[in-house]
Structure formats: structure tokens, C-alpha cells
Amino acid sequence: MAFLDKFNDNHLPLFGKNWRHFSLWGICLIVLGIWAIFAATMATIVSVVVLGFVIFFSGIVMLIDSITFWRDKWSGFGIQLILSILYILVGLMLINNPIEGSVSITLLLGILYVFAGIFRILFSSAIQLPQWGWVFSNGIVTLILGILILASWPASSLYIIGLFIGIDLIFCGWGYLMAGMAAKKYHHA
């Protein structure tokens, strides 16, 4: 509730008025997260396809930008044009081959977790801020997750992304639900 202390008194009624929206959004995200965990393969494929569309449309925007803005500036035009074409191609590859795309993304995710875990362990050991043990423990968990992903790769590629998205959705939904419960205390109707 400490974050509410930073709210101006004028904002609290508005915050309280929307408690149902926060709670409903939280429940929806939790349900969606549970679905993503139990249908992890489908969630993985859908996520990779959505990512493919985001990258594809980013490439289209970059292509338009390179033609309209960078065309007269020859030093940057070639690089912008090549990058936009690469974005478009990668987006199309993810859209057309989401299973193969999930294999690559899962490999990168496993490598990222291993390095992030190592750096968190080293950082927390070197700096030893108050409660540094939590960061150290987080580093160990992150490192173990990365090793587990890489040890079961490429088989883990079909479910790991959907599983992680599901877990994230549940925690995000829980946060909204808790915000809704806090906001309800300020609802005056």
C-alpha cells in the first residue's frame, strides 16, 4: 500500500472507481496464463507467429523509412535497407515455420538464462548489497533454468516458451487482481 501514498488525493477516487476493471483484467490474465501452461505447445506456436508478425511489420515500417528518409543520405540508406529486408525475412520465416522458430528462440533463451544466472551470481557475490542472498539465489535459479532448457533442447522448444508466457501471465494477472483489491478500499459508491 506504500505506492498509494505517492498518489495525490485526487487520484485515489479514480483508482478506487476502477477496482472492478483491475480485478476483471487480473482474472482474465490468470485464466489465460493457466490455459497457456496447459496448452504450452499451442501457446508457444501462437507466440512465435505473433512475434513473426511484429518483426515483419517492423521491417515494413523500416523499409518505408529507408525509402522515404534515408534514400538521400547514402551513408545510411544501404544499412537501413538491408536491415529492413532482414526484418521482413525473419518475420516471414517465423510466421511460416513457427516450430523451427521456437527451436531457435528456445536455444537463445537457454543461453540467455545461463549467462544471466552467472552474472547475477557474480554481481551479488561481488557487491553484497543488503539482502544480497536473494539476488544470489535468483542467479542460481536462473542458471539452473538455463541449464535445464539447454539440456532438454530442442525437445523443450515446443513447450518452454508457452510455459514461461503462462507463468508470466499468471503473475501479471495476480498483480492486477491485488491492485483491484487495494483499489476497492478507495471506492466510495
60-106 tens-digit pLDDT: 999 998 888 766 666 677 788 899 999 999 999 999 999 999 999 89
What Å distances lie between residue 103 and 139, 142, 150, 160, CA to CA?
24, 20, 11, 10
pLDDT of amino acid 56: 96
CB 141 within 8 A of CB 117: yes
Residues 81 and 87: their CA atoms lie apart, in Å, by 10
Q: With b meaning 16 or more CB within 10 Å and e meaning fewer, what string describes 70-98? A: beeeeeeeeebbeebeebbebbebbbeeb
In the prediction, which pLDDT does 142 show? 83
pLDDT for 188 equals: 61
Nearest one of 171, 166, 175 to 35, comparing CA atoms:
166
**pLDDT at position 9, please?**
57
Q: Give me the pLDDT at residue 130, please.
A: 66
Instruction: Quote the Cα angle for 53-171-55, to 5°.
Output: 10
Residues of the chain with pLDDT under 70: 1-16, 70-75, 129-130, 186-189
For the chain, what are the domain ranges? Answer: 19-184
